[in-house]
Structure 1
Amino acid sequence: MSDVYYDPWDVGIDLDPYPVYRRLRDQSPVYYNDRHDFWGLSRWEDVDAVLRDPRTFSSAKGDILEVVKADPVMPPGVFINEDPPLHTIHRALVGRAFLPKQMKALEHKVRAFCAACLDPLADGADFDFVLDLGAELPMRTIGMLVGIPDADQPTVRAHAHRVLRNTPGEPLPVRKDHYFDGDLFKDYVAWRVNNPSDDLITELLHVEFADETGTTRRLTTGELLIFLAVIAGAGVETTGRLFGWMGKVLAEHPDQRTEITADRSLIPGAIEELLRYEPPGPHVARYVTENVDFHGQTIPTGSALLLMLASANRDERKFDDPDRFDIHRRAGSHLSFGRGAHFCLGSPLARLEGRIALDEVLNRFPHWDIDLGNARRSRTSTVRGWDSMPATVR
């Protein structure tokens, strides 16, 4: 019997969870935490298999551990917390905004947003990867894509940040009627009805689709408001944390940073490796719909199951020397964006923002050191990263 203990809310473990993850993979690949009553999987092969099986491992009760355990009633339209076929229908509607054609059209605008964040800092001796970039660029980009007015973007960002905050060391408090606050967009959607534009809100106001009953219709206002709340929240928090890790990890690997500065074709691979090495979303949860066996152990029906994506990304059974950051590593096998039906819809946008941000940072600040003494960790239930990552330019 292994004595390894893992708690996703433990502040000490969260500082560096990777030694605990290794012990879990080796000693307790099927882990049960009796204090908080959840199961966990930590090996790449097991996590990958669960992500590909939405029937046995349901998202309908949420994908955050605390939410799954609260057994909430989800409002219609929270497509990240739906199972096929409803998930398939709703995902296809929202997915229009993230097609390759749309991403290509966005590139110059994202670069302009990035320049607007960084240019005022170019003559200074320091800047902050999170406060100056991570807190600004993702919100500006998703705001433009969806159609959120500039004046309203700080409110949306603050809401997305606040709903994931938990008291350090404790689970996020979740009500039975857990919901996404679509009222943030109510007035703007009403205004857009008579003032159409080239944005996702306008498109979703007019699109017709066949729902799960076979009826051809348009989205209700309630469904549309929930769609927007889900997209805005997901697009702000996780991508924003990526920039903090970008500053820290590349400062710790200056030789590889120098390589990227000299050869910008290395940037896409560097972003993929960063996502594997320090994923902003370290885990997701599922509800187990029937008894299932892993490694001779049964996870019973009704269990809350935690999928440790960050552990799977460091599994030596899948990756050579997984604790080494290597921008030349073959990309594509990490699970940071999930897998299967719930593969992250916004992954093309996150990759685009990460790629452009790194390019623009290197254009202005090819050498920097991180001031970890003044960096601030972000204590959230589902997103691992930093509220501040100050850098000193050399």
Structure 2
Amino acid sequence: MSATPATSDLYYDPYDVDINADPYPVFHRIREDAPLYYNEQHDFYALSRFEDVRKGLADRETFSSSRGAILELIKANIEIPSGVLIFEDPPVHTIHRNLLSRMFTPKKIRNLEPKIREFCVRSLDPLVGTGKFDFVGDLGKQMPMRVIGMLLGIPEADQEAVRDQVDAELRTEAGKPMTRWSEHGDFVSGEIFAEYIDWRAEHPSDDIMTELLNVEFEDETGSRRRLTREELLTYVTVVAGAGNETTTRLIGWTGKVLAEHPDQRRDLVADPSLVPRAVEELLRFEPPAPHVARYVTRDVEYYGQTVPEGSVMMFLVGAANRDDRQFAGGDRFDIHREARQHLTFGIGTHFCLGASLARLEGRIALEEVLKRFPEWDVDYDRAQLSPTSTVRGWDSLPVVIPA
């Protein structure tokens, strides 16, 4: 696929640290000048306009999840274990999703609010009067970890170790792809959860782990059974990773974006009823996962070019979420804008099961921060952007509170 003169200098690389620091100028150019983009170095195609991304993510016949949703994972062409539902297609995906969906019902999510607020209070109250805190280290890495630990039944004393090991699976060396799958030929084993599963089997409780241990279902062969131990380990690993990552990134971006828009932050202090809308705008404006990949199962045409079967298509969610065709002034952050569908949580079959929980955690976190710290400035000299290519956000975001 040859470049035109207008796009000959256009380059997008998900592993490039400089681009990743602020991908939106490149996203804008791709969206307008190369709506079907091809990266020769890493051999992937990319779509960036809202409608293309929306329709592509919903087209599971053409764009398969069964080989993974990460560029280097698809390229590694390894066998993905049963139970990684984000990397599955129907009918297996439908079976596994239905097992988990009963654990994330609206009622169950609503009932978590008092506990989530308690976790936020516990994190934030000791920081009042200190003149500073870290949106990620003091809140983003603490509250979501405690919530998912509570749901899974992991003792608080072990939650940080579990969180750090699961997070490490997503980390990459700056500027480089993930290599653990291609080098080791395996996937996340989930063995860190083995002792909790064994203990919970003998001591049932009201948590996801107990439910998963006891649930019976009909698998894709028509057999009635329970989850195998390996499937259970995989399930719990997926829930633990997804349950921490999105909300941690959301909280970090909340600190950064609202520091850069102090007038809108003051609007939220004056009218807390705007907080849910602000959370939605933050999710649109800075999606924690700016892209998602799919394996192309058949030739497909875009903009007069054929994407051949066997290719990797990258859907640039971060670009689609700022497409002026869907959002007027898409590169402008505005908590007052009319609510419209964004793609941060995906769409269709793979719409994020934990979306309601992430929104709830984001809302409560912002409410509790604003009660204590209506003003803050980011200490960029000490802030650290994560190097990973799979999600985009802050490893630390320290802020200074004006006296």
- Matched residues in 2 for 1:147 and 1:262: separation? 38
Partner of 1:169 in structure 2? 175
**2:293 aligned residue (264, 268, 285):** 285
Partner of 2:115 in structure 1? 109
- Match of 2:386, SS state, is strand
Partner of 2:143 in structure 1? 137
**2:160 aligned residue (151, 154, 164):** 154
- Listed as ranges, the gaps of 5+ residues in structure 1 are none
- Matched residues in 2 for 1:346 and 1:376: separation? 26
Contact 2:169 2:188 in 1 (8 A): no
Deviations 1:106-155 (A, max 9, x none): 00000000100001101210000000001111111111112222122112
- Matched residues in 1 for 2:13 and 2:358: separation? 28
Which runs of structure 2 are paired with 1:1-394 in the superposition (5 Å)?
1=4, 2-3=7-8, 4-176=10-182, 177-394=185-402
Letter in 1 for 2:37: Y
Contact 1:67 1:178 in 2 (8 A): no
Letter in 2 for 1:19: P
Contact 1:145 1:200 in 2 (8 A): yes
Contact 2:127 2:133 in 1 (8 A): yes
Cα RMSD after superposing both structures = 1.0
- Matched residues in 1 for 2:241 and 2:318: separation? 21
- Listed as ranges, the gaps of 5+ residues in structure 2 are none
- Cα offset for 1:44? 0.6
- Matched residues in 2 for 1:202 and 1:170: separation? 39
- Cα offset for 1:175? 2.4
- Matched residues in 1 for 2:254 and 2:12: separation? 26
Letter in 2 for 1:151: A
- Matched residues in 1 for 2:324 and 2:48: separation? 12
- Match of 2:112, SS state, is helix
Letter in 1 for 2:225: R
- Match of 1:323, SS state, is coil
- Match of 1:230, SS state, is helix
- Cα offset for 1:247? 0.5
- Matched residues in 2 for 1:146 and 1:298: separation? 45
- Matched residues in 2 for 1:331 and 1:71: separation? 39
- Match of 1:384, SS state, is coil
- Matched residues in 2 for 1:160 and 1:186: separation? 14
Letter in 2 for 1:320: A
- Match of 2:330, SS state, is coil
- Matched residues in 2 for 1:216 and 1:155: separation? 35
Q: TM-score, normalised by structure 2?
A: 0.96
Letter in 2 for 1:171: P
Deviations 1:174-202 (A, max 9, x none): 42434122111111111111100000111
- Match of 1:379, SS state, is coil
Letter in 2 for 1:167: E
Contact 1:271 1:351 in 2 (8 A): yes
- Cα offset for 1:210? 1.1
Letter in 1 for 2:60: P
Contact 1:66 1:172 in 2 (8 A): yes
Letter in 1 for 2:58: R
Contact 1:70 1:174 in 2 (8 A): no
- Matched residues in 2 for 1:253 and 1:91: separation? 38
- Matched residues in 2 for 1:23 and 1:324: separation? 16
- Cα offset for 1:226? 0.5
- Matched residues in 2 for 1:30 and 1:109: separation? 45
- Cα offset for 1:65? 1.0
- Matched residues in 1 for 2:167 and 2:222: separation? 37
- Flag as ranges the 4+ runs of structure 1 deviating above 3 A: none
- Matched residues in 2 for 1:143 and 1:75: separation? 23
- Cα offset for 1:244? 1.1
Contact 1:64 1:382 in 2 (8 A): yes
- Matched residues in 2 for 1:220 and 1:299: separation? 39
- Matched residues in 1 for 2:271 and 2:233: separation? 43
- Matched residues in 2 for 1:287 and 1:174: separation? 20
- Matched residues in 1 for 2:130 and 2:178: separation? 39
Contact 2:327 2:340 in 1 (8 A): no
